[in-house]
Structure 1
Amino acid sequence: MNTNQPQHRYHHSNNHNNHQPRPHQQTGVQVTLGQRFPLTIKRLGINGEGIGYFKRKLVFVKGALPNEVIVAEVTGIKPSFLTAKIHRLKTPSPDRVNPRDDYAAEVGGFELEHLAYPAQLDFKRDVVLQSLEKFQPKGYRNFELKPTIGMDNPYEYRNKAQFQVRRDEDGHVIAGLYRERSHDLVDLKTCSVQMPATMRVIRGVVDLMEELDVSTYDEKHGTGLVRTVVVRVAKGTGEVQVVFVTAKAPFPQEAEMVDQLLTKFPEVVSIMQNINNDKTSLIWGEKTTLLAGKPQIREVLNGLQFNLSARAFLQLNPYQTVRLYDEALKALALSDNETVIDAYSGVGTIGLSIAHAAKEVRGMDVIADAVDDANENARINNIDNVHYETGTAETIIPKWLNEGFRPDALIVDPPRTGLDDGLINAILSAKPKKFVYISCNPSTLARDLVKLTNQYHVDYIQSVDMMPQTARCEAVVKFTRA
């Protein structure tokens, strides 16, 4: 954990396509693709790319770090910015380190693996700061931004591997992630951020698919069977679930695959098939069936047991999840006679973690399976003061208010898109005196704060590094009613 307050070493930039040139930028700079020039990197953008200026024109350079001097080679020309790659690194940053993964520069999810970990933590706090400066919610200059809570070992933390499966030019089965901005699959035989059990099992699945000659999906022609393999491990129990996402229902080698998987990997206790026959970039289809074992695996967090269905959301980093929820509970500062709404409740991990400190917890989620899991998880843990319903928060909260329920506290943990306008209005109508927002996207957080700060005061923002080696950042925001 880094406890030093950063001195704005790393700065935020918005998505390239939305970036407006600064007033002093010259948009008429004449450059050509492949042109090379010296460039000093001034800061990092929100996606972890280096940012410099060539003749006052903004240049984004993937893999470059602040204060580095490089020879840049132009790879893209837009009216308000250029993209470039490092042709030669003349003066490296003292924070530059060698990535553990040799493909880190090729696929997404490793944007900062070449940046020393203390500097990653500084960057993530600064992304929050720069997002606030862009949207300027009321009082933002006085917000307390606490140093990012990091990991002692920022590797081997991801509890789920979700790898695309294809055959290479030689006909061999490969599994991994797409090369950035392409559908060229990179075969990941190792991965430093995955929990070892996920990689051990997924590489075993690949070997069995090769051995049994299992058909893989052909994206171009829409033919073949297995599109994606998802492996999730429960850190608390060691149980592993394997999901085959297929383009159609029949799985000719199902019996042999199941038998050999269970024999070779006794930790695999659940084998599922999800059917997605749409031509889409979305991973999951609507239908999931059990092939072998049980339909859920069991995780343990903060002493609580959670059953997880194949599609149930759970934070990818079980080590930091406990810290994140501890920070949320600390921010809520509940008394035992207070009622709480847990919006975007998932399988109930947050609500059940705070239930011991509250009189009653009510939650909701749009995924029915997750709500079923949440209510089942309450029963498993003998917690009788929680209740979950299926639906949107912006619909259910007003319903509860009309029924006379008055929450003392509210906790939200939305997706990267942030809070729906309807939910913000519902929050402002409910007016809970205590309010905590867990954000996984500083930009949408800062946007939402513009409306929320009309009625709420931000006590502090605590950033938490849930995904080391990436540019992603989570934050816990403590509010009190203004």
Structure 2
Amino acid sequence: MQTKENQKKTKGGDLAVCPHAKKCGGCQYQGISYEEQLKKKQKQEEKLLGRFGKVKPIKGMENPYHYRNKVHAVFDRDRKGNIISGTYEAKSHRVVPIESCMIEDEKSQEIIRTIRGMLKSFKIKTYDEDTGYGLLRHVLVRRGFETNEIMVVLVVSSPVFPSKNNFVKALRKEHPEISTVVLNINDKRTSMVLGEREIVIYGKGFIRDRLCGCSFRISPKSFYQVNPVQTEILYKEAVRLAGLTGKERVIDAYCGIGTIGMVASKQAKEVIGIELNKDAVRDARINARENKITNISFYENDAGVFMESMAAQGETADVVFMDPPRAGSDEKFLSSVVTLDPKRIVYISCNPETLARDLKYLVKKGYKVREIQPVDMFGFTEHVETVVLMSKVKE
């Protein structure tokens, strides 16, 4: 929660200004009204993507506060030896202690503060990156927006967690709405947050949430968009742009836990989801089964390799959905999309710079940009999602 002490009048109007902004670096648009933020993002989109066609007005949020349903805190000690939790300072591995964040889910932040307060009485030491000693490295909290189910992931350097049952009992006494608690074992000297091994110490080891009329199972390592309200808008736009009539064969590349593919499956003949993360593929298959969706199948593979193999066997697709990471796609992947010869490509991007690069390649290969729709998923940050429709130019 923001208090009167850390609220300021700015040129853009009245808005909360975070006391951690300068050191944290997570919110680049602090001190700017939300209306002005949207204008800046629109301008950025037009500058980078305007050469491909008209950029439609950005779809902003009704409420740009506390929208992140996934909260990650790194644990450490300050110079006086006090336990602190927060985020890494921009471009460093120094921890900025954070009591409250204006864009993160409030209940998740409460849980992290409770865990921090419990460590001393349970004699749990925080992990020291320099020496490699200590147990607790990070805490990850995810909350289902519609279901309110909460998952707590304790990232630890060893599977030996003292009095773990009593720890969970004490934590759930304060927060009975916690649905599951998972130990994630990360025993490597690495900057990666999550390790490979997991031990469920309470509940089922996953939570569920609902999106666009479908129920989704979310595991600790599954990718799931952090802003559920805007994600629904984004996915509905993507499916609308695909122009599905019930006759199409659809590829969902980088499919994660199957969100876009499952939403599209209601209006398609067949959907094929491709994903490299085995945990996500497992969740995707379970999600399809639990939602009684029978016209979708998921494959654990590199999407580019899989599509090349399909093309080599003479197979085609009508529509390809692609939702790559911030680095965008590489030419090998884009080449495999083109080889499959889809009529339409729906590209969902979280980085307009790499999007512009990839669109340029696809235009050279005979596709034309038909629509560009930005959606603001990340208020107070410079990031913006964009969904683009491309279609094959008739020869």
With the shorter chain as reference, the TM-score category is over 0.9
Distance of 2:120 and 2:155 partners within structure 1:
17
Q: Is 1:201–2:111 an aligned residue pair?
A: yes
2:184 to 254, 257, 274: 274
Distance of 1:462 and 1:452 partners within structure 2:
18
Question: Structure 1 residues 94-103 or 165-174, which shifts more?
Answer: 94-103
1:464 corresponds to: 375
Residue by residue over 1:93-122, the C-alpha shift from the partner in whole angstroms, topping out at 9 and shown as x without a partner, is: 833655432111220221102111111111
2:30 corresponds to: 113
Greater RCO, CA 8 A, separation 6+? 2
| CA shift in 2, pair 1:266/1:421, >3 Å | same
Q: Which amino acid aligns with 2:159?
A: A
5+ residue gaps, structure 2, are 1-8
Identity %: 37
Q: Which amino acid aligns with 1:472?
A: H
Residue by residue over 1:7-37, the C-alpha shift from the partner in whole angstroms, topping out at 9 and shown as x without a partner, is: xxxxxxxxxxxxxxxxxxxxxxxxxxxxxxx
**How many residue pairs were aligned?**
384
Q: Is 1:164–2:81 an aligned residue pair?
A: no
2:3 corresponds to: none
Distance of 1:116 and 1:144 partners within structure 2:
25
Q: Output aligned runs, 1:58-137, within 5 Å.
A: 94-95=11-12, 99-132=16-49
Residue by residue over 1:461-481, the C-alpha shift from the partner in whole angstroms, topping out at 9 and shown as x without a partner, is: 111111100011110001111
2:324 to 397, 410, 414: 414
What is the CA distance between 1:174 and its match in structure 2?
A: 1.3
Q: Is 1:293–2:293 an aligned residue pair?
A: no
Q: Which amino acid aligns with 1:349?
A: T
Distance of 2:136 and 2:108 partners within structure 1:
18
2:392 corresponds to: 481
Does the 8 Å contact 1:214/1:253 carry over to 2? no
1:447 to 357, 360, 371: 357
Moved over 6 A (4+): none
Question: Structure 1 residues 258-267 or 238-247, which shifts more?
Answer: 258-267
Q: Which amino acid aligns with 1:224?
A: G
Does the 8 Å contact 1:160/1:232 carry over to 2? yes
Q: Output aligned runs, 1:244-263, within 5 Å.
A: 244-263=154-173
Distance of 2:120 and 2:64 partners within structure 1:
33
What is the CA distance between 1:404 and its match in structure 2?
A: 4.4
1:302 corresponds to: 212
Does the 8 Å contact 1:97/1:114 carry over to 2? no
3-state SS of paired residue (1:427): helix
Q: TM-score, normalised by structure 1?
A: 0.77
3-state SS of paired residue (1:340): strand
Does the 8 Å contact 2:187/2:195 carry over to 1? yes
Q: Is 1:333–2:243 an aligned residue pair?
A: yes
Distance of 2:127 and 2:73 partners within structure 1:
13
2:282 to 368, 372, 393: 372
Distance of 1:432 and 1:210 partners within structure 2:
58
3-state SS of paired residue (1:238): coil
Residue by residue over 1:277-317, the C-alpha shift from the partner in whole angstroms, topping out at 9 and shown as x without a partner, is: 22221111111221111111001111210011110000010
Does the 8 Å contact 1:144/1:461 carry over to 2? yes
What is the CA distance between 1:171 and its match in structure 2?
A: 2.6
Q: TM-score, normalised by structure 2?
A: 0.94
3-state SS of paired residue (2:333): helix
What is the CA distance between 1:186 and its match in structure 2?
A: 1.6
Does the 8 Å contact 2:73/2:138 carry over to 1? yes
Distance of 1:408 and 1:269 partners within structure 2:
41
Q: Is 1:435–2:352 an aligned residue pair?
A: no
3-state SS of paired residue (1:148): coil
Question: Structure 1 residues 271-280 or 439-448, which shifts more?
Answer: 271-280
What is the CA distance between 1:125 and its match in structure 2?
A: 2.0
Q: Which amino acid aligns with 1:355?
A: S
Q: Is 1:397–2:307 an aligned residue pair?
A: yes
What is the CA distance between 1:198 and its match in structure 2?
A: 1.1
Distance of 2:152 and 2:216 partners within structure 1:
17
1:174 corresponds to: 84
2:137 corresponds to: 227
